[in-house]
């Protein structure tokens, strides 16, 4: 099971990541001021929208994705760990059940979220690797 500390460790390997907090002290991770990952507990309104269905348990992480097409692809490829809620309809982000995501899936999703928000030149340098 992954934790928010695992998230922090994984994103620390990416260039120019800043960790901060926002609303109610929830952790966020950003690149040059653009948030790409954040803690996302369910609000009361979220819980009401689940109705009689049981909401996913455990810590939830929100991740930016490049666009709505990528969102649908991620949700289809990893339905056991990645999901969305009505609050995120039309928004380029997915939610991740940290209890259900594999380490390699989480690392890849975090890098993809970083790439979705990083400035183009920084992303290109990162993808080119050292050298």
CA neighbor of 38 nearest in space, from 8, 58, 13: 8
- d(Cα 36, Cα 128) in Å, to the nearest integer? 21
pTM (2 d.p.): 0.93
Q: What is the DSSP string of the chain?
A: ---HHHHHHHHTTSTTEEEEEEGGGEEEEEETTEEEEEE-PPPHHHHHHHTTSPPPPS-EEEEE-SSHHHHHHHHHH-TTTEE--GGGTTSSEEEEETTT--HHHHHHHHHHHHHHHS-HHHHHHHHH---
- d(Cα 124, Cα 26) in Å, to the nearest integer? 30
- CATH number given to 4-128: 3.90.1150.30
Q: Calculate ∠ Cα 110-55-115, nearest 5°.
A: 15
State the burial class of residue 120 (Cβ atoms within 10 Å of its Cβ: 0-12, 13-18, 19+): exposed
The whole-number pLDDT of residue 131 equals: 60
The whole-number pLDDT of residue 23 equals: 80
The whole-number pLDDT of residue 43 equals: 87
The whole-number pLDDT of residue 89 equals: 95
Question: What are the domain boundaries of the chain?
Answer: 4-128
Per-residue model confidence as pLDDT tens for the chain (131 residues): 899 999 999 999 999 999 999 888 999 999 999 999 999 998 889 888 988 888 888 899 999 999 999 999 999 999 999 999 989 999 999 999 999 999 999 999 999 999 999 999 999 999 998 76
């Amino acid at each position: 099971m992954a934790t928010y500390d695992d998230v922090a460790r994984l994103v620390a390997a990416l260039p120019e990541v800043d960790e901060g907090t926002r609303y109610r002290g929830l952790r966020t991770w950003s690149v040059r001021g653009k948030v790409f990952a954040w803690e996302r507990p369910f609000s009361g309104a979220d819980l009401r929208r689940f109705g009689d269905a049981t909401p996913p348990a455990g810590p939830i992480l929100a991740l930016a994705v490049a666009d709505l097409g990528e969102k649908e692809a991620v949700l289809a490829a990893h339905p056991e760990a990645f999901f969305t809620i009505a609050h995120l309809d039309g928004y380029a982000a997915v939610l991740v059940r940290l209890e259900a995501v594999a380490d390699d899936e989480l690392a890849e999703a975090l890098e993809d979220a970083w790439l979705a928000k990083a400035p183009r030149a920084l992303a290109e340098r990162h993808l080119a690797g050292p050298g």
